[in-house]
Amino acid sequence: MKKIIKIAALSWLGLTLSVAQADEDAVRQALTKSMPTVKIGSIKPSEISGLYEVTVGGNIFYVSNDGKYLVQGHLVDIAARTDLTEAKLGGARKQALEKLGQDKMIVFKAKINKYTVSIFTDIDCGYCRKLHSEIDQYLAEGITIQYLFFPRAGKGSDSYSKAVSVWCADDRKAALTAAKKGDTPPAKTCDNPVDQHMELAEEFEVKGTPMIVSAKGTIFPGYLPAKQLAEALADENGQK
């Protein structure tokens, strides 16, 4: 009898896995057909039966198991009062930034590193310039800053051209600092990651600059003074 029950249980499990895989395949095929340019990451069952969680870069959305319906928004556990989507988005952003890599960012490294943040910046943004004018204060707080470009005026704008020129400069950090002070960098072109930065900003739903992203993928929108940012990062890491 125990053997029969065990065989039945294994058969049920196999059927469940087959159904889940079939649903995942249906979702992937439907998305690939309707959005062929979208690079789909993971597809897995969400907390709601019949709804699949789909990761695209640093973003998450939900699709019905037949691939017909797509839901954008955050999934909230009402009883626990927890935003389930935001918690997972942090991990997705973290992975997306790690995949891009530091070699495609302009990095100002703290001598004694406590925290690392990635900042989407626009050379012509006032608060971006204010933040960079205080770069030594961030470094003194042990915050390493990794810059990514997000020229808000879009591709082909003056801000975009400045970002490319800064990246192509012999000394990127010096060129960025000069540009943030209002100097126009000498026009240069080369292979650069500015378009990749902008694509990632779109996935992260960046609305303005600066936008700060912690090493855990948490977003701190807008300008934050060095000490305030250090306190927020300490709080995030349970150091208070």
Dump pLDDT digits (tens) for 198-238.
999 998 989 899 999 999 999 999 999 999 999 999 998 87
**Nearest 10 degrees: CA dihedral of 108, 112, 113, 117?**
-40
Show the DSSP H helices in 58-146 as ranges.
84-100, 126-133, 135-140
Measured in degrees and rounded to the nearest 5, phi and psi for residue 156 equal: 90, -10
> Is the Cβ–Cβ distance between 164 and 188 less than 8 Å?
yes
Instruction: Say how far apart CA 7 and CA 12 lie, in whole Å.
Output: 9
Peptide bond into 210 cis (omega under 30): yes
Residue with tokens 């126009």: 184
Structure tokens at 127: 């608060």
Task: Find all residues with CB under 8 Å of 148, minimum gap 6, and list them.
Answer: 100, 105, 118, 119, 120, 121, 197, 200, 201
How high is the pLDDT of residue 10?
35
pTM: 0.78
pLDDT category at 24 given cuts 50, 70, 90 is: confident
- List, for residues 27-45, the tens digit of each pLDDT value: 888 888 888 888 888 888 9
Q: Which domains does the chain have, with CATH numbers?
A: 2-91 (3.10.450.70), 104-236 (3.40.30.10)
User: Are 233 and 117 spatial neighbours (Cβ–Cβ below 8 Å)?
Assistant: yes
Q: How far is CA 173 from the centre of its chain?
A: 23
- Which residues are designated catalytic? 122, 125, 128, 152
**Residue 240's pLDDT is what?**
61
Among candidates 217, 200, 179, which has minimal Cα distance to 86? Answer: 217
Does pLDDT of 79 surpass 50? Answer: yes
Give the span between the Cα atoms of 75 and 65, in whole angstroms: 17
- Mean pLDDT of the 118-128 span: 97
Measured between its terminal Cα atoms, the distance across the chain in Å is 57
Render the burial of 63-93: b for 16+ CB within 10 Å, e for the rest. Answer: bbbebeeeeeeebeeeeeeeebbeebbbebb
- What's the pLDDT tens digit per position in 133-173? 999 999 999 999 999 999 999 999 999 999 999 999 999 99
